[in-house]
Structure 1
Amino acid sequence: MDIEDFKFIYWMEYAHRMWGRGLGVMFALPFTYFLRKGFITLRLGLRLSALFALGAGQGLIGWWMVKSGLEEPVSEYVQLKVSPYRLAAHLTSAFVIYCGLLWTAFSVVMPEPPAGSIAWVRGAAKIQRLALPVSFVVGITAVSGAFVAGNDAIGDTWIPNDIFSMEPLMRNFFENTSTVQLNHRILATATLLSIGSLWWATRKLDIHPAIRSLIGRTMGMAALQVTLGISTLLSYVPVSLGSANQAGALTLFTLVILLNYTVRRPSLTLLKSLPSVTKTP
């Protein structure tokens, strides 16, 4: 690494750090104002306080991650980089905070899920049993991408010969570039298949049109994300495609979180007011 490369990385890290601190200020100031004005309920205030604490913890995790990249390499032939474990922890924490913020925003903007009839509510309940495990698959796939980035994992074959070359065996799943890339490909395929199965299983259900549209959009985004991942790999990970792949993962994660929110059970008050079937004009 020459001095120009170091400067580029330094300023990128510095901008990221300042952006994180700025987000903390942008969160704390309006939160304090609305709290003092009494616009925030106790339950919402506790949730937002917890999210703010997680944000502060995310800064510490980020420092812990960057610190691993400043340690002296064991030899001159070893590339200096951050720990993939700490990178994955930093990404996981970011996704947890984002999920909490997103769910909180939905609860404020849309207190009740879309429900036009009892039949639609029953259909949404069936989707809910499928949507939650699908969300876990999407989240795990995204986190596995951090190990791909942290290990510079790339390969030329579908199943490499050296996937179990490290000892102990578990190290291969987190440090072996061939195994890490294979894991990510398998998880990405599982994500596409699980979302595709969700779409197929719900295509004939009597559900709210907004939920049906959301499932279709999620299916389309999953297909696009797999295409982005393949293109990134075949192009030897240019920054533009790598960034697009990360943005695609976040977009897909957003859609599955929104899906889980919209298929949750309505309040008892809303349920009592719903007709058994939807009236057609």
Structure 2
Amino acid sequence: MSTSMASFGHHLLSLFLFTTLLSTSINGNSVNPSNTTCPSFDCGNGLVVGYPFWQQGRQNDHCGYQGLGILCTGRQPLLCLSGDIYRLKKINHSENTLTATYNELNNTTCPVAHHDVKLNSSYFLNISMENKVVRLFYNCTLYPPSLPYIECLRYGLKRSYVFGEGAIPEFDWERYCETTVSVPVIEKGGDGILVNSFGRALQDGFMLTWRSPDRACRSCEASGGFCGYGNGLLQKFICYCNDGQQSDNSCHHNGNFLCMI
């Protein structure tokens, strides 16, 4: 399959999943608008996900940040970022980090990244410093001699290459290569190692971090509440209590300790 055909198929898949994400959040019958509790959830693969992420179709969007809705599909947690679908592999709520990978990658040893990893600042996510950004150049018809190339992506006289950002050999890559993609991968070695195991690097994914009011959320959960986010005009952290009340950080209301004279 050519890179262009694979890319077209990927965009169709992303469009379908993105439409499902949207329609599920709007029309999902399991959403109870009056339900203000926002517990953590598991899509079925053992990965427990919680605030600031929320489950599409089963929780209201006040349970997390805008743009961080998770869709459980085939027991896998999927996240849509800038119109592209990614699969969550790991999440560490104590360190505010997650590891994600391209959803369309299968178990092949020679996967292809069809698009850049793009983040929107409104998603509250950032590329972790644990990553190394690499550039992939696919199906080059002309290339510098003696450069190591990705052997499993060799098609006739066409070659594909991967380099660390800032270590790209001087050459007119854009002119002679069909596509070029920038991808963050978890740092595990130098460029030579990456050439020989780039498939594993893509499968392992990349790490993202997010911003959250950690102290306020911990205080909220310790008081028996659920961490949420005020979408709309509030745009701030909210502690949702089981009795239906809302607080800035805790369900321990001062009124419970006042003496009536």
Q: Normalising by structure 2, what TM-score? A: 0.32
More strand by share: 2
Q: Normalising by structure 1, what TM-score? A: 0.31
Q: More relative contact order in 1 or in 2 (CA 8 Å, sep 6+)?
A: 1
More helix by share: 1
